[in-house]
A and B are shown apart, each in its own frame.
Chain A
Amino acid sequence: DIQLTQSPSFLSASVGDRVTITCRASQGISSYLAWYQQKPGKAPKLLIYAASTLQSGVPSRFSGSASGTEFTLTISSLQPEDFATYSCQQLNSYPWTFGQGTKVEIK
């Protein structure tokens, strides 16, 4: 199975901060990577697919990028509603695996 190593596991930040989360794949996955946001008691919400394509309706402060097997989710200016857990997922080969998640909390 393809392993995804996500970092950091926990992040404390303030409203307005620029936040970057990294996801590293154990092997090449082309651009088959998605990012999700999950709030307590809720289902995951798709933010970005194909490594850098913003899902319809998602604010433009969210962006994704890729360099080889390293993928990055950036929130340009953290808003109160952005405090949540973020997970990456590879869809290159089944089983589609997830990173362990990054919890973004208020500083």
Chain B
Amino acid sequence: EVHLLESGGGLVQPGESLRLSCAASGFILSSYDMSWFRQAPGKGLESVSLISGGGNTYYADSVKGRFTISRDNSKNMMYLQMNSLRAEDTALYYCAKVARSTGADPWGQGTLVTVSS
């Protein structure tokens, strides 16, 4: 069964850093495109970053230069390094297996990031 599990969320102050992890099981993560999405409290979904199976990376303008997506093929895991965090980065962060032609599925259960002083 294909399964994703995020971890690493927490409460941090503005300007601090956090690294989110996404553990994949049931498939080889490096063979697929993978993405991070987020959802601020009471708001809609937003794309944050994507790493293609070939290793190309993409970012939303709002996080470009501050966030870095990566993966560890030996551990079958994906990461999101988040630096210079802002209050507006507060959200539930999801990882998902994605494909342009077939959408995002499955999704993890999410990990909450709260940026507040």
Interface residues of A (CB under 8 A from B): 1, 32, 34, 36, 43-46, 49-50, 53, 55, 87, 89, 91-92, 94-101
Distance in angstroms between the alpha carbons of A89 and B61 in the assembled complex: 18
Q: Which residue of B lies closest to A47 (CB)?
A: B103
Which of A34, A43, A44, A87 has the most chain B CB atoms inside 10 A of its CB?
A43
Of the candidates B44, B60, B94, which one forms a contact with A43 in the assembled complex, judged by CB atoms under 8 Å apart?
B94
Task: Mark B82-117 against chain A: 1 for CB-CB distance below 8 A, else 0.
Answer: 000000000000100010111111011110000000
The reply to whether A32 and B44 contact each other, CB–CB distance below 8 Å, is: no
Residues of B participating in the A interface, judged by any CB pair closer than 8 Å: 35, 44-47, 50, 58-61, 94, 98, 100-105, 107-110
Expressed in whole angstroms, the Cα–Cα distance for A98 and B101 within the complex equals 16
Task: State the majority secondary structure of interface residues on B.
Answer: strand
Instruction: Evaluate contact between B44 and A34: CB separation under 8 angstroms.
Output: no
Contact status A95-B47, CB under 8 Å? yes
Which of B103, B105, B108 gathers the greatest number of chain A CB atoms within 10 Å? B103
How far apart are the CA atoms of A46 and B102 in the complex, in Å? Answer: 9
CA distance A20 to B72 in the complex (A): 42
Q: Is the CB of A49 within 8 A of B47?
A: no
Contact status of A91 and B100, CB under 8 A, knowing A43-B107, A43-B109, A46-B105: yes
Contact B105 A98 (CB under 8 A): no
User: Within 8 Å CB of B109, what residues of A?
Assistant: 43
Most buried by B among A49, A53, A55, A96: A96
B26 CB to nearest chain A CB (Å): 15
Please judge, given known A-B contacts A43-B94, A43-B110, whether A94 and B104 are in contact too, CB under 8 Å: no
Q: A43-B94, A43-B110 are in contact. Are A94 and B105 (CB under 8 A)?
A: no
